[in-house]
Structures are given as C-alpha cells and as structure tokens.
Structure 1
Amino acid sequence: MNQQQILDYLAQKDIRHIKFAFADIDGILRGKVIHAQKFIDGLEQGYGFCDVVFGWDSSDMAYDNVDVTGWHTGYPDKSCRIDLSTFRTIPWQNNIPFFMADFSGEGNEGVPCPRTLLKNIAQQCADMGYHPEFAQEFEWFNFSETPKSLAQKSYVNPEPLTPGMFGYSILRSSQQSEFYYDLLNLLEQFNIPLEGLHTETGPGVYEAAIIHDYALAAADKAALLKNAVKEIASKHGITASFMAKWTETLPGCSGHVHQSLWSLDKSTNLFYDENNALHMSDLMKHYLAGQLYCLPHILPLYAPTINSYKRLVEGAWAPTTITWGIDNRTTALRVLNSSHKSTRIETRIPGADTNPYLAISAALASGLYGIKNKLPLNIQPVKGNGYLDKSNGSLAPNLLEAANTMKASPIANELFGESFTQHFANTRIWEWRQFSKQITDWELKRYFEII
C-alpha cells in the first residue's frame, strides 16, 4: 500500500491505534502503540524516541564506554521514522496495524541504527548494479515454561516442550499441532511466509526457513519472526528461546544466512555460471573471497553474545574454521550450486541470537568488498571435515577477542563506517565486562567447598 491507501484503510476500518517497532543494537524490538492521529502527524518528521535505546544493553543497563549517547549527551530524542512499505497487521493481536521503523534521514547522522546500516549497504549493492536476495533460517528451543516459572527456578532445568532427540519428526509436531499450525498460519498472515517448519534434533527444537526476499525485507522478516514466535508461543503457555546454546549437552541454535546477487530486474542469478565446473560465476567467487577475507574482522556481527561462542565448537553443527565447501555443513561458508534458481551461499557462522540486520549487513558488505577489490578465491573448497582444516585460520574463541579485533580493524571501519564500528565493538566489550563480573554456578560447584 502507498501512503494514501494506508490512510484510507485506517479511516475505513475506523482504526484508532497502530503499533511500530525498530531493532536495537542487539536485535531486540523496541517500539510503541500510538494513536492513529499521532501516526498521521508524524509521517513526515518522524516520532521522537529517546536515544538511550542505542545506549543501553539487553537488560537496559546504560553503557559507559560509547560516544554517541550517554549521560554526557543528556539522552536527547532522535527522530524515528516509519517505513510504510512494511505495513502488515498482527493477527494474534486483533489485527492491529504494524510497521517497522528506523533512524534514517536528516538529523540522525551517527545514530547506530542496524536497519539504517543495512539500508545503506543494500543501496550500495544496487548502485553497483546488483539485487541482493537473502533469507535467514532459525532454530530455537521451546519450553513448557512461562517467564514467571523460569524466574522462579532461576532458569535452571527448564522443561522442554517435547522429549528426546527427534529431528524432522512428524509425530512430535503433530503432538503440538495447535502451536505448530498457529506458527505456520499466523506467520503467513503476518507476511512472514515460511519455506519450511520442522523439528530439529533436540528436545523441543523447531527450525523455520523464511522464503527469500530483498535483503532489507528479509531482515525485517527475520527480526519479526523471532519476536512473533515468542508472542505466539506465549499464547500457548510456551517460552521460545533463540539463545545460541542453552546447555552443553545439546546442539546449539543456528541463524544461517542464505544469499545471492541477481540482476536488477531479478531475472538472472549472477552467482550461477553453467559453463564453470562448480557452476560458480567469477562474481560469486569474488563475493565468496570477500566473505572469507573479512570474516575475522567482523565476527561479532555474526556472533554477538558471550553465549554465541559456546555454539561455535567442533562437532556441534557450527563452524570453527575459515573455510568453504560445496554443500558441506562443516565449513563456515557452504555453496549450493544445483541450478540457476537456487545457486547461493549459506553463511553458517550466525546463531539464532544474531541481530538479523547486522548479520545480513556483514554478509552483504563483506561480499561486496570482495567484488569491489576483485579478490581471488585462493582458498580451496574443503572436501570432508572442515573442522580439521585450519590452514586459513580459525574463528576467535570468545567475544572479547573478536570485539577487540573488530575495534582495531580498518576493514570493519571501511565496511560499516568508523562511528558504527567503534560503537558496536564497544557494546560487545561492555557485554564481556558484565559477564566477567559474574559468579557462575560452575565456579560455585568447583571451588566453594573443595579449593
């Protein structure tokens, strides 16, 4: 719908309120429900929002190591602008109109808005003559818990929705059919169509693959899917967790990013070359080389939390080395090359805990870097176990090391701008500092009595 059609819709339906949201630096949706008249009044100039939303962490604790906002700036309002192209209604909330928003436009220079970052990178891609097509897929655990019951048991021993290791199970999804079909049908109505939804290996694990779309729309759908799944699950007395790895004894939860570049009219997959032995065009090889080259410099965008690195361990269906391969699930980058329509790259580092705007920004910007610089694909594809091939390096083992590398990297500054890079890296260093102060259950069990 265009602006007039949306205004007509609100008037015809006598709609009094709308909801909008944007993603903060962690990918958490922040937003408001506002009166329809306030919505109309703010379409041109935006809606004032305290910029603390980019100055605090996931627990609303204010950073003390960032420049863009803080006590030193007085936490002023910034203008949040609604993107009318994202209009949809929320079927499980009385079909209230909903929009995505961001902090783009005049007056918002320097605001570290993830959606704005991706908009700018996608525009760079278009300016180079390419249409970026993306999709993110997610695994997550479902628990027969509520936020209250989890807090009462201090998040220890949550009860999975279903027992046992039962990937691709028709039985388990049928045993929770009301929840399962609510996910399928309500997400479809919410304009997040799924290519597939199934159980993964592990108790209570689901995996959803979103149908591919233009990079920005794909990120919108990915960010909204995570929040929507949590809301739909809550209606069934279920808590859905997108934590990268909630227990050592089970596989983690991925958030793989699939991507390809097409002609601007979307008729030709520019990654595909039927005359090449691997069906990979030179453009695809440059793009792939760019991702491999930039990976150590931008890892926190793919692995943004302390917990992310608990998933990135050998033999746990997540990569640990700077590698690629043809349909190889042990490498960091997996090339799928079966046809013109489906040839793409799967970036396998991201977990379900990623901010979709930042994970997709990282993949696209680093791929474009390879194209701009015509980087040769000198790394050979891995055949067999990618965990064993450390000839091109391994991923950083923890968030602090990865964040410090990004903070000092001229490559990251070039890809995302110095202001954003420094802000984001500092937020990850803050995250490490908060973790480092904590006394864990492991420490208590290991040292309390015996040491």
Structure 2
Amino acid sequence: MQRAVPTVQKKGLLSKGELEGLIRDGHIDTVIIAICDMQGRLMGKRLTGEFFLESAIDHGTHFCNYLLGTDMEMNTPGGFQEMNWNGGYGDWLARPDWNTARRIPWLEKTALVLADAVDEESGRMIEIAPRSVLKRQIEQAEKKGLRPFMASELEFYLLKDSYEEVHGKGYELIRAAGHYNEDYNLLQATRNEPVYYKLRKWMIESGIPIESSKGEAWIGQHEVNIGYADALSSADRHVLFKHGAKEISIQEGYSLTFMAKPDHRWTGSSGHIHLSCRDLEGEENRFHQPGDELFNMSETMRQFLAGVMAYTRDFSLLFAPNVNSYKRFAHESWAPVHIVWSRDNRSAGYRIVGSGNSLRFENRITGADINPYLAYAAMIGAGLEGIERELELPEEFKGNAYEGKGVARIPGSLYEAIQCWEESEIVNKVLGESVHYHYGHAAKLEQQAYDTVVTNWERARYFEQG
C-alpha cells in the first residue's frame, strides 16, 4: 500500500478546521481568497471572517472572468475566446484549495488561501487558468508513474525608493539599495538585512520554507532559495513569495522588483527552476541510476531532459514571457544564450547538479518574471514528450557555452518566441488548443502594446540628431 506523502511542509499552514477555529476565536478576522492570473500575479478578495464562514468556506467566491484575459495594466483587449464583451464578462468561481491555507504574519489577523478557477455550474477546472495548466501536466506525469518535484531560486532588486516614488520619477533615476556589487558580500547585505530578515522569517512562518538568501551579482540585487517540494506546492510557494515580498517592501518604505532586466547596465534577475521526478510515493528519485556512466543519470532523466531541451524554443513564451525578458539573455551575463547542458556549468542553459537522491537539473533560462505554474507546466510537458518519443540526450557541452557553435539558441526577442509558439505542434499537443491560442494571443498583445510606445531611449537618440 502506498504511503501518503504530504505535498507541503505543515509549518505555517492551516487546515480548514483550524482556520474556522481561529476565526471563531477572533484571532483571524480577514481571509484572502486568491487566484493566479496570466502574468503570475495574485488577484482576489478580502473577506471578513464572519462572511467567509457563512458563504465561502465550502463554496468559494466569485470573480469576473476578465481576470484571466487582461494585459499587465488590466486592460480588456479583444480577441480572447474565453472572455469578451460578447460574452458579457461573466463570473467564474475561486474554489479554495485547503492544502494552501496559511496565516499571513505581515498582515494583521489575516489568513490566505489559494483557489482554483472553476466553472460554478459544472465544477470543471477552467482550462486556461495557470494553476489548471500545471495540474494537468502533473496528472500526465503521474500516469507515467512520475511525481515531479521542483524548486525556484528567485533573484530580485531592492530599491530605496517606494513604488510611488519610482512611479513619480517616471521609472528613471531609481536608487538601488546599496552602492557596490552585493554578490555573496555579507557586509553589503547587512545594510539591507532588516528587510531580508523579515522576508526569511515571515515566509517561513507562513509555510514557505526559505533555505537561504544571499547577495547577487549587482548593486541591490539579492537571491532567495525556496525549499524543494512537489511541483504544485512549489509553484504556490513561488507566487506567494513574490506577492509577499512586495507587500513587505511596501511596509518598509522600499520597492522590490522581479523584472528580468530593470536596467540595461544591471545584471538580469533569474528565476532558476530545479526539477527531478520521484516515484508516486515521493521517495525514490527516478532520475538517479547508480553506476550509470553519465553522471548516474537514469534513462528517464536523459529522455526527460532531452525533451525539455528539444522543445525549449517552442515553450520559450513561458520561460521568458515579456518583451523585457529577452534583454536578460546576453553574452557572459550569467544568463544563458544557448540550449545546451553541462554538469555544474553556469554558462549552460541546463545544469546537472546534485547526486544520489538529490540528482536533478536546473533550468537557468527562466527569469524572475515567469509565471511559475506555466513555466513548470512547460518543463514537465516537454520532458514527458521526451520520454514518450524516447529522445536521445545530446552530448554534454564542455567549456564556455556562450561560445557554442552549431547549437540551438534561445529566442532573441518576444517576436521570435511568438513565432516559435505559433508554429509549434508540440505546444498544441501538450497544453491543448485553448491554452495554445490564449497565451499566444496574450503575447501578441504585449508585443503590440510595446511597439506603439515611444521610449526615452528613442528621444535621446533621435530628438536632435535624427
């Protein structure tokens, strides 16, 4: 008989009954029900504790379906099939997932529960919702006897200016929180430790295990490593960390950005993803084969990684979702440019790390601006295709991968990524026609929005000399 394996560490989490008791005892008076939108942001409602118990604890709460069909500025552009003015922008239901309820220690008497987007009448999951997209790929993996385990490493910049101050300055002359490269530098990191300490402490208290934090490779840049877990729990932790980190920075009078490349002079911010597959009990690492001559990688791991590599360009919209994402990929910048793999080589797109039961690969292509549900789903889906097609893993790239010749390159722009996405049969097969269309359309709208704006760079370059 299989032993039940918890999907998350219980510290900081609440059961349905525990939350109900805290509300009745007056320790919690506000409950946030949140869904994740296309851009990876949390959207939802704050319910009073009393109303939550009366109307939402079992059923959930309604939200306008436009939340899964907007751009970054919450406009409602046309062309989406699932939500539009002809359909009247009706309601979907946010149904609580009771594996995700937790207290939020940086907000007074507040709890939060993540929700799945469902059709109220039929109870079916909304196919294009990011959490639904990931759940479907996890189900496909489990049919093959595999349970994906994943973790995110998130880099970000801490700024001395508040979000309002940055906005008021037109997003120019932004002051990084520091004055020299912070990478591993304990003295510089100490200057911002009052913020970073709260990040680590409060995240752990809310059920998001933080392994470490460290200075990263530019002024004001920092990295946090989040604990390894099953894929859905890790994606949940990822979105909650980003949202909570921004809320904490607001309270401290700072701002904090996960933008892939906030300034062309700064090092880009990565969102590296680690992945391995275990058995359905969550114990044995199916990527590990003792005695195998290729770093003890099992056939399952080799085929899985071969699939991820083969379809990286197809899924690049989910690894680098914004116009800005592609400015992070630069020669010898710590962000890769070639789709190759190596053992413990930070110049490669994919890096093999760990040993024994911790053997895994790291996706170094993804940036801090990803939607984790979508990026995780792309990795799992591509890997499963590699297994199904019995793809052969290319030879290990040795040396400086930035100098690679005759190897596939990461798309250089959102334009190119859109073309790869639209021409891909594998995206349509893995994610389904509705998801393929929905996120391709969203990317085209983002590119069109950028193309209509005149930037400060253009004015400085052409105003007098043009």
- The alignment status of 1:424 with 2:439, answered yes or no, reads yes
| Aligned residue number for residue 383 of structure 1 | 398
1:32 corresponds to which residue? Answer: 45
Within-5 A mapping of 1:258-273: 258-273=274-289
Aligned-partner Cα distance in 2 for 1:393–1:112: 29
The answer as to whether partners of 2:163 and 2:254 remain within 8 angstroms in 1 is no
AA in 1 matched with 2:85: W
Structure 2 gap segments, 5+ residues each: 1-13
**1:41-440 aligned within 5 A:** 41-104=55-118, 106-108=122-124, 110-277=126-293, 278-336=295-353, 338-377=354-393, 379-440=394-455
Identity of aligned residues (%): 31
RMSD: 1.5
Residue identity matched to 1:264: L
Aligned length: 449
- Alpha-carbon separation, structure 2, partners of 1:9 and 1:119: 30
SS at match of 2:291: coil
The answer on whether the counterparts of 2:349 and 2:363 sit within 8 Å (CA) in structure 1 is yes
Residues 407, 426 of structure 1: 8 Å contact kept: no
Distance 1:6 1:147 in 2: 33
1:86 is paired with a residue whose SS is: coil
| 8 Å contact kept, 1:133–1:213 | yes
- Superposed displacement of residue 177, structure 1: 2.6
Residue 449, structure 1, aligned to residue 460, structure 2: no
Instruction: Single out whichever of 20-29 and 399-408 deviates more from structure 2.
Output: 399-408
8 Å contact kept, 2:44–2:63: no
For residues 373-392 of structure 1, the C-alpha deviation after alignment (integer angstroms, 9 at most, x for no partner) is 22121x11111111222423
- Once residues 210 and 162 of structure 1 are traced to their aligned partners in structure 2, the CA distance between those partners, rounded to angstroms, is 24
Distance 1:104 1:392 in 2: 42
Query: Displacement of 1:235 after TM fit?
Result: 1.6
Please give the per-residue CA displacement for 1:386-431, whole angstroms capped at 9, x wherever unaligned. 1222423211111122112212311001111110111001100100
3-state DSSP of counterpart to 1:296: coil
Contact (CA 8 Å) 1:78, 1:107: kept in 2 or not?
A: no
CA–CA separation in structure 1 for the residues paired with 2:27 and 2:167: 40
CA contact (8 A) 1:43 1:81 kept: no
Measure how far apart 1:221 and its partner are: 0.3
Shift, 1:51, TM fit: 0.5
Does structure 1 conserve the Cα–Cα contact (< 8 Å) formed by 2:151 and 2:227?
A: yes
For 2:431 and 2:251, how far apart are their aligned partners in 1? 39
CA contact (8 A) 2:30 2:109 kept: no
The separation in 2 between residues aligned to 1:45 and 1:410, in whole angstroms, is: 38
SS of 1:438 mapped into structure 2: coil
Tell me, yes or no, if the aligned pair for 2:268 and 2:328 is still in contact at 8 Å: yes
Secondary structure class of the residue paired with 2:312: helix
CA distance in 2, matches of 1:28, 1:438: 24
Whole-Å separation in 1 of the counterparts to 2:102 and 2:16: 13
| CA deviation profile, 1:8-43 (whole Å, cap 9, x unmatched) | 333234643311211100001111101334433234
Letter of the 2:32 counterpart: K
TM-score, normalised to structure 1, is 0.96
Q: Would you say the 8 A contact 1:78–1:108 is kept in 2?
A: no
- 1:243-278 CA-to-partner distances (Å, cap 9, x unmatched) read 000111121000010010011222211111121121
Deviates more, 1:266-275 or 1:416-425: 266-275
1:94 & 1:14 partners in 2: Cα distance? 9
* TM-superposed deviation, 1:307: 0.3
TM-score normalised to the size of structure 2?
A: 0.93
Instruction: Tell me if structure 1 keeps the 8 A contact 2:33–2:94.
Output: no
| Amino acid corresponding to residue 447 of structure 1 in structure 2 | Y
Q: Where in structure 1 are there 5+ consecutive unaligned residues?
A: none
Partners of 1:63 and 1:22 in 2: how far apart?
20
Other structure's SS at 1:135 match: strand
Residues of 2 paired with 1:48 and 1:371: CA distance? Answer: 39
Task: Give the match's secondary structure for 1:91.
Answer: coil
The answer to whether the 8 A contact 1:303-1:309 is kept is: yes
Q: Distance in 2 between matches of 1:394 and 1:98?
A: 41
SS state at 1:421 partner = helix
The 1-side partners of 2:372 and 2:257 are apart by: 16
CA contact (8 A) 1:28 1:58 kept: no
Aligned mates of 1:236, 1:48 — CA distance in 2 = 32
Which amino acid is the alignment partner of residue 85 of structure 1? N
Q: Distance in 2 between matches of 1:173 and 1:318?
A: 22
Q: Distance in 2 between matches of 1:235 and 1:44?
A: 32
Q: Which deviates the most, 360-369 or 383-392?
A: 383-392
The residue type equivalent to 2:74 in the other structure is D
Which residue in 1 is equivalent to 2:35? 22
For 2:253 and 2:49, the matched residues in 1 are separated by 32
Task: Give the conservation status (yes or no) of the 8 Å contact 1:50–1:78.
Answer: yes
Q: Is the 8 A contact 2:249 2:256 kept in 1?
A: yes
* AA matched with 2:17: Q
The CA deviation at 1:95 is: 3.8
Q: How far apart are residue 64 of structure 1 and its match? A: 1.7
